[in-house]
Structure 1
Amino acid sequence: MCGIAGLFDITGHQAFDRGLLREMNQTQFHRGPDEGGDFLEPGIALAHRRLSIIDLSSGQQPMHSADGAVSLVYNGEIYNFGELAAELKGLGYQFRTRCDTEVILYAWQEWGEACVERFRGMFAFAIYDARRQCVFLARDRLGIKPLFYSLLHDGVVAFGSELKVLKAHPKLPRSLEPRAVEDYFALGYIPEPKTIYRGVYKLRPGHTLLLERGKSMPNQREYWDVPFEPVATGSEADLCEELFARMREAVDIRLVSEVPLGAFLSGGVDSSAVVAAMAQLQSDPVNTCAIGFDVPQFNETDFARQVADRYGTNHLERVVASDDFDLLDTLAALYDEPYADSSAIPTYRVCQLARERVTVALSGDGGDEHFAGYRRYRWHMNEERMRNLLPLGIRKPVFGTLGRLYPKLDWAPRVFRAKTTFESIGRTAVEAYLHSVSLTSDTQRNLMFSDAMQRELQGYRAVETFEHYARRCPADDPLSLIQYLDMKTYLVGDILTKVDRASMAHSLEVRVPLLDHKFIEWVSGLPVNMKLRGQEGKYILKKALEPHLPHDVLYRPKMGFGVPLGKWFRGPLKKRIRESLLEGNLAQSGMFCQSYLEQLVNDHQSGLREYSAPLWALMMFQASMADDDISLA
C-alpha cells in the first residue's frame, strides 16, 4: 500500500518547487515508509511513498513508460494483474517488472480511460500523459482507497491520498464548507465528494477525473455502480454452495504477497468467514489477531478464539483497557477532518497489533452492507410496513405530532422508547433512514447551530445527500434502497475511511475480499429474502457458512466494535468535554449555540439524558479543527 501526491497546471507549464512537492509527500510517510520518489517537469509534479508488498526489488514509483511519455503514481493492488499482463504481452508490450504498477501503465496506453473497467482490486492512481497533455485520476469501485483533489486559484490541481497532503500546500483554501459541517453532525463523517473545506473534494468511488491542459473544467465520469441485476437462482443449497465458492475465490486472489500476511478476527460472522476461507486455501496456519476490552459487553474475544481454535490459527490477542481514550488527539490528526466514529479507537489498536506480525491483513468489512446484517435494516423494514399502511399526508401530521410530544426516555426499556419510531413513521423512507442512522436529529442540529450558521447553510439539510443517491438507486425495493444508501455514504465515508487511516498509520495493508466487485455484483442480484428473512439478517451468508463456522458465532447477537463513551464523559473525560465544547475555538467560532451545548453537557453528566454521540462528535470536531480558523466572522 502506498501514498500518492501531485500537482498539475491545467492552464500552462509553470515550474513547481521540488521542496514543496517533497513536503506534501512527506506528510504521508506512514503510508509508504519503504521508499519515496518524485518526478517534475514544467506543469506536472508527481510523488509517491511505497509500502513494498509485491516485487520488492523493483516497481519503484513514479513509474514511466519506455519512451518516457507516460508517468504513473499508484496506491493499491490489482489482483488480476497477471491475466492483464499476459494480455498486454500478447499485444506487444514488454515488461520490466513483475508488479501491477506496470500493468496500469500499459493498460492506459492500450485502452485509455476504459482501462479502469478491466482492473479488479482496490486503487487510486494518477497518470500523466505528455502526448495528450493530461492527468487521469481514478478511484476503485467501492472507494477502498482514498483520493483527494482541489483546483487552486492559480489553475493548479493538487491531489493526494490524504487531505493532509493537500493541506501542506500554502494555496489550498482552508475555509469551512458549511454543508459538510451539517453532514458531519448528522452522520459522524463527511460523505463523498465533500470535505470539510470549500473547493476541496474526494473523488467519488467508481469515478475517474480527466484533467486536460487548456480545459478549465475537469471531465468526471462514473464507470461502475452496484447493478442489483437479478442473478439466476436455484435451490437454497445451490445458492449456499455458489456463495461460498465465490467468496473463497475473492479471498484466494488476495493471498498473493511477498511479505507476511494475516487476518483480523473479531469473532463476528464476516471476519470469521474470511478466516475460514483462508484456512482452506493455505497450508500454513493463518495469522489472526483480535482486540478485546475489559468490559464484557464490548468484548468478543471468546468468539474469535472459537474460530481460531477450529482452524488452528496462529492467534494473537490483546485486551485493551476500557479507558483507552489517549488516542483522541492522535485520531484527530490521523483523519485530517472531523470524524466521529468512536470505533476508530479499537480499529487503530487492532491494526497496531496486526503490524507486529504481518504487513498485509484481510478484513471482513462490507458483509453487513451487502448481506443486510445491520439491526437498523430490520427496524427500517418493520417501520416501512407500517408506513405502507397510511399515506404520507396522514402519517406526517399524526405520527410527527406523536414524535414531538412523546418524551425521550433514554433510560427506559426499549419497549417504552417509542419517540424515534413515531418520528420515523411520520417521514418518507429516505428521511426515516437518515433519522435512524444520524448522530443528531434535525431538531438537535437546529438547536445546536447558531443563527449565523443557519444562514450559512441556506436551507441545506443532510438528507439531501441521501435523496441524491436514492434518485440514482438501480433497485426499486426498500431493502436494496437503504443498502445502496449505505454503500454510497456509510461504507465509504465511515467504515473504509476508518480502516484506511488506521491501517496506514501503522504501514499495514488491509485487503477486503467481501468488497470484491465481481462478488458484489452477484450478491446484489440475490433475492432480498435471501439477505433479510424475517428478523434474520445475512440469512444466506450464515446458511452458507454453517458447515464452516460454529453455530454460536453465526447466530449470536451482533455486538459491534464500540467503546464506553457515556462512562468517559461522566468520568475521566468530564473536564475535557466541558473545556472542548464551552471554551476555546469552538466557543468563539460563532457556529454554535453555546447555551444548547452547555445543556447537552449538563444533561449528560447529570445522567438525565444520554448524549454521548453528539458530545463525541463535538469534541472530535474541536480536536480536528484546532489548527484552523473556524470563525464565521
Structure 2
Amino acid sequence: MCGIAGIFHVDAATPADGALVAAMLAAAPHRGPDGRGVWTVPGIALGHLRLSIIDLAGSLQPMASTDGSVMLVFNGEIYNFRELRHELQATGAQFHTDGDSEVIIAAWQRWGVECLPRLHGMFAFALYDLRARTLLLARDRLGVKPLFTATLGDGSLVFGSELKQLLAHPGVGRTIDPLAVEDFMAWGYVPDTRSILRGVDKLPAGHYRLLRHGHAPAGPVQWWDVSFADRSAGSDAALADELHHHLQQAVTSRMAADVPLGAFLSGGVDSSTVVAMMAGASSDPVKTCSIGFDVAALDETAYADRIAAQFHTEHYRRTVGVDDFAAIDTLVAMFDEPFADASALATWRVCQLAREHVTVALSGDGADEALAGYRRLAFHHNEDRARALLPQGLRRGLFGALGTAYPALGWAPRPLRAKSTLQSLALDSEEAYARTLSVTRAEARDALYTSEFKRLRGDYRAETPLVALMRAAPARSGLDRAQYADLKWYLPGDILTKVDRTSMAVSLEAREPLLDHRLIEFAARLPEDVRVRGTTGKWLMKQAMRGQLPDDVLFRPKMGFVTPIAAWLRGPLADATRGIGQRGLLADSGWFAPDRIAALADDHLSGRADTSRTLWQLLMLEKSLARLTET
C-alpha cells in the first residue's frame, strides 16, 4: 500500500519539476514510510511513497520496465500477480523482482489498456510509456484506492492519492465548489462525481484516463461495471455452496503478504465470516482486533470475543471512551474534504490498534452492498412491492398527503414511525431510495440555505445524479438499482474513503476480500429472494455460513460502528454546538441561515429533538473549510 503523485505536461518538452512532486509526496508521508522516490523526464514527473508489503527488499518505485521504456507508480495490491507472471513469462516476458508492480508493467506491454480486466485487486496507478509518450491513469473496479486529479491553467495535469498532495502544488486553487457543499449536506461526504474544490476531480472507480502529449487531457473511460441484468438458476443450497466458495476464494487470495497480517473483528456477520475463512486457511492463529465502547448500548465486543474464542485467534481489543471527541481535528486533517460519517473515529481507532500488531488487516466491508445487508434495502424492496400495486399518480396524491399529515414520531416504536414510509411511497423507486440514502433531506437543506446559496446552486440538486445513475443501471428491479447505487455511489464515496484514509493515516494496509469482483458479479446475478427474504437481508450469506458461525451472530440486528455524537454535542461540545454558523467560515460564507442553525442547536441542546446528524455535518464542514482555505 502506497501513495502516488505526479505532473503531466501537455508539451512534451516542458521540464518536469521533480522537487515539486517531492513536496507533493511530503504532504502525505503516512502513505509510505518505507521508501520515497521521484522520476522525471521532460514532460512528466512521477513520485511514489512505499509501504512495503510484498518483495520487501525489491520492487522499488518508480519502477522501470526491463527495457526502460515504461515507468510505473502504483498504490495497491494485485492478488493474482503470480498467475499473471506465469502467463506473461510463457510469452517471453522477463522479471527481475518478486512483486506485483513489475507484473503491471509487463501486462501493459503485452495487452495495453486491455490489461486492466486481467488485474484482480485494489489499485490506483500511473504508467508512463516513453515510446508512445502516453500516461495511463487507472483505478480499480470498486474504488478501493483513491486518485485525485486537477487540470492546471496551462493544460498540465497533476494527480495524487490524497487531496492534500494536490494542494502542495501552487497551481491548484482552493475555491470551494458550492455544488459540492450541496452534495456534502445531502450525503455526509462529497461523492466521487465531484470534489470540494473547483477544478479538482476524482478518477471514478472502474475507469482509466489515457493522456497524450500535444492533446488536451482525455476524460475518464469506464473499463468495468457490474450488471444486475441476469439471474442465476439453482436451488438455495446450491447457490449457498457457490457463495461459500467465492467467499473462501476471496479471503484466501488476500492472505499473501511478507509482513504480519490480521483482521478487524467486530463480531458481526461480515468480519466474522472473514475471520472464519482465514482461520481455515492458516496454520497459525489469526491476529484479530476489536474496538469497544464504554457505553454498553454501543458495545459489541462480547460477540467479537465469542468469535475470537471459537476460532482460537490471537485477539486484541481496546475500549474507546465517550471523551474521544478530542480527536475530531485529527480526523478532519485525514480526510481533507468534509466527511461526516461519525464511525470514522472508531475505524481509525481499530486501525491504530491493528497497526501495533500487523501491517495488513482484512476487513468485512462490501458484503452489505453486494448481498443486500442494509436494513434500508429490505425496506426499499418491500416498498417497491407496494408501489407496484398502485399507479404513480395515485400514489403521489394519496401517500404524499398522508406523509405530510402524519406526525414524525421519532421517539415512538418503529412500527408507529410511518411518516418516512408514506413519503417514500409517494415517490418513484429511484427518488425514494435517493431520499433514503440522504442524511439531510432536500427540504431540510433548503431550510438551512440562504437565498444567495440557492442562487449559486441554481437548478442542481444532490439527488439528481444518483437518480440518473439508478435509472441507467443494468438492472431488472428496484432492489437491483438500489444495490447498484450502493456499489457505485455510497461504497466509494463513504465506506472506502473512510477505510482508506483511517488505515493509511497509521500506515496500515486494509484489504477488502468481500469486494472481490468475482464475488460482486456473482452476487449481482442472485435471485432477489435469496438476497432479501421477508425482512432479512443478506439471507444467502447467512445460510452459507450456518454451521460455521453461531446463529445469534448471523441473525442478530446489524449495529455497525456507532459514535455518541448526540451526547458529545449536548455535553463537551455544547459550546461548539452553539457556535455553529454564528461565527467562523460558515457564518462568513453567507450560505447558511444563522437563525435556522441556531434553532437546530437549541432544539438539540434542550433535548426537544435529536438534530445531531445535521449539526455534526455543519461542524465537520466548518472545520474542513478552515483547513482547505489555509494559505
TM category (shorter chain) comes to over 0.9
Conservation of the 8 A alpha-carbon contact between 1:403 and 1:419:
yes
Partners of 2:214 and 2:371 lie apart in 1 by 46
Give 3-state SS (helix, strand or coil) of 2:400's partner: helix
Aligned to 1:149: 149
* Contact in 1 for aligned 2:148/2:202 (Cα 8 Å): yes
* Residue 188 of structure 1 pairs with residue 193 of structure 2: no
- TM-score by structure 2 length? 0.98
CA–CA separation in structure 2 for the residues paired with 1:592 and 1:362: 41
- Correspondence for 1:240: 240
Task: State the AA in 1 paired with 2:291.
Answer: I
Cα distance in 2 between the residues matched to 1:482 and 1:72: 37
Partners of 2:258 and 2:81 in 1: CA distance: 15
Query: Amino acid of the residue matched to residue 91 of structure 1?
Result: T
- AA paired with 2:3? G
Equivalence for 2:366? 366
Distance 1:461 1:85, change over 3 A: same
Superposed, which structure 2 residues align to 1:361-510 within 5 Å? 361-510=361-510
What residue is the counterpart of 1:609 in the other structure?
A: 609
Instruction: Map residues 13-32 of structure 1 onto 2, 5 A cutoff.
Output: 13-32=13-32
Question: Structure 2, unaligned stretches of length 5 or more?
Answer: none
C-alpha deviation, 1:550, in angstroms: 0.9
1:283 CA drift (Å): 0.5
* Cα offset, 1:468, TM superposition: 2.4
How many Å separate the matches in 2 of 1:434 and 1:248?
Answer: 33
- Alignment partner, residue 512 of structure 2: 512
Choose 497-506 or 465-474, whichever is displaced more: 465-474
Contact 1:231/1:522 (CA < 8 Å) preserved in 2?
no
Match of residue 288 from structure 2:
288
Q: Aligned letter for 1:395? A: R
Which deviates more, 167-176 or 226-235? 226-235
Shift of 1:414: 2.6
1:510 is matched by which residue type in structure 2?
A: A
Distance 1:266 1:6 in 2: 38
- The residue number in structure 2 matching 1:44 is 44
Which residue is equivalent to 2:250?
250
Give secondary structure in 2 for the equivalent of 1:581: coil
* Residues 209, 218 of structure 1: 8 Å contact kept: yes
User: Deviations for 1:433-474, whole angstroms, at most 9, x for unmatched residues?
Assistant: 121121111111111111111111111011112122113211
SS of structure 1 residue aligned to 2:326? coil
User: Is the CA contact 1:342–1:563 (under 8 Å) kept in the aligned structure 2?
Assistant: yes
1:269 is aligned to 2:248: no
What is the CA-CA distance between 1:91 and the residue it aligns to? Answer: 1.4
Larger deviation: 531-540 or 64-73?
64-73
Task: Tell me what 1:340 maps to.
Answer: 340
**Alignment match, 1:103:** 103
Whole-angstrom CA distance in 2 between matches of 1:232 and 1:403 = 38
Q: Distance in 1 between matches of 2:378 and 2:120?
A: 32
**Is the Cα–Cα contact under 8 Å of residues 157 and 217 in structure 2 kept in the other structure?**
no
User: In the alignment, what sits opposite 1:54?
Assistant: 54
Give me the whole-angstrom Cα distance separating, in 2, the residues matched to 1:492 and 1:322. 28
Structure 2: which amino acid aligns with 1:308? Answer: A
Q: In 1, distance between residues paired with 2:122 and 2:229?
A: 23
In structure 2, what residue type is equivalent to 1:531?
R
Conserved? CA contact 2:600–2:611, under 8 Å: yes
In 1, Cα distance between equivalents of 2:616 and 2:224:
35
Question: Which residues in structure 2 correspond to 1:293-312 (within 5 Å)?
Answer: 293-312=293-312
- Give deviations 1:471-501, integer Å, cap 9, x for gaps: 3211111111100011111111000000000
Q: Within 5 A, what are the aligned runs for 1:136-215?
A: 136-215=136-215
Q: Deviations over 1:493-552 (max 9, x none)?
A: 000000000000010001111100011111111111111011111111001101111111
- Cα distance between partner residues in 2 of 1:379 and 1:205: 28
Cα offset, 1:236, TM superposition: 2.0
Following TM superposition, by how much is the alpha carbon of 1:413 offset from its aligned partner in structure 2, in angstroms?
Answer: 2.8
CA deviation profile, 1:322-365 (whole Å, cap 9, x unmatched):
22111111111100101110000100000000001000000110
- In structure 2, C-alpha distance between the alignment counterparts of 1:405 and 1:455, rounded to whole Å: 30
Q: Which residue of 1 aligns with 2:319?
A: 319
Distance in 1 separating the partners of 2:66 and 2:273: 43
Q: Is contact 2:336–2:628 with CA below 8 Å preserved after alignment?
A: no
Match of 1:559 in 2: 559
Alignment-derived partner of residue 353 in structure 1 = 353
Q: Give the aligned residue type for 2:456.
A: E
Alignment partners' CA distance in 1, 2:218 and 2:458: 27
Q: Which residue of 2 aligns with 1:84?
A: 84
Asked whether the equivalents of residues 230 and 527 of structure 1 are also in contact (C-alpha less than 8 Å), the reply is no
Shift of 1:219: 4.2
Q: What secondary structure does 1:330 align onto?
A: helix
Structure 1, gaps ≥5 residues long? none
How many residues in Structure 1 have an aligned counterpart in Structure 2? 630
* Aligned AA (1:69): S
Q: Distance in 1 between matches of 2:392 and 2:180?
A: 29
> What amino acid is the match of 2:353?
L
In the alignment, the residues of structure 2 paired with residue 35 and residue 472 of structure 1 have an alpha-carbon distance, to the nearest angstrom, of 44
What SS does structure 2 have at the residue aligned with 1:174? Answer: coil
For residues 267-326 of structure 1, the C-alpha deviation after alignment (integer angstroms, 9 at most, x for no partner) is 000000000000000100000010000111211101111111111000001111122111
Q: Give how far 1:621 is off.
A: 0.5
Q: Is the 8 A contact 2:180 2:196 kept in 1?
A: yes
* In structure 2, distance between residues paired with 1:13 and 1:417: 65
Match of 1:510, SS state, is strand
How do 1:536-547 and structure 2 match up within 5 A?
536-547=536-547
What is the percentage of aligned positions where both structures have the same residue? 51
Q: Distance in 2 between matches of 1:478 and 1:523?
A: 16
**Residue 604 of structure 2 aligns to which amino acid in structure 1?**
H
Aligned partner letter, 2:392: L
Q: Quote the RMSD (CA, aligned, Å).
A: 1.3
